Amino acid sequence: MTFPAQPNPDQTTDQTTDRAAERRQQRIDALTAAARRKSAAKAAAAEAAIKYLVKKGEPVTFQAVQRRAGVSHSFLYSHPELRRRIEHLRQQQVPRGGGVVEPGSAEGRAGDDRDSVVFALTAEIARLKRLHRQEMAELRAALEAAHGENLVLRRELGFRGGTGLDSR
């Protein structure tokens, strides 16, 4: 009478260890791939934020990109291409005084006259956009005040019992 061969306990343990190591490596690979996808999505969001800021004529700074894209400062600083791009765009912006950079000035010299003219026009557009945003904010504040005054007058009229229409 022959008995079925009993598995070697050492061999079974080795197979179990190999399978566990394989599953562990699969989990590590999946997490690594997910982290890469997340990083690529954040980089794309940062690029979109930079494009938005440039298009709107707003200052391109690490903080502005970070807020707009929803990424951290360390993320921007740790990605050399994003960091170079932000630093380059930040250097091209209008000086703090807000004035237009003259094509012949030291700030406006970008290499040749055409680049200087483009830079000056871009700076002027950015200045006009800032002025427009400021004027719009002032107009909105005035409109809110007028709406508030209108509401107060309507309530006062309501307390007096009239609609104001039949008193003409």
pLDDT band at 93 (very low <50, low <70, confident <90, very high): confident
**pLDDT at position 120:** 83
Residue-wise pLDDT tens digits, 10-69? 566 677 888 999 999 999 999 999 999 999 999 999 999 999 999 888 899 999 999 999
| Closest by Cα among 41, 56, 71 to 126 | 56
The pTM of the full predicted model, rounded to 2 decimals, is 0.46
Residue-wise pLDDT tens digits, 145-158? 999 999 999 998 88
DSSP string, 85-128: HHHHHHHTSPPTT-PPPPTTSTTT-SSSHHHHHHHHHHHHHHHH
Lowest mean pLDDT across 26-35, 93-102, 116-125, 151-160:
93-102
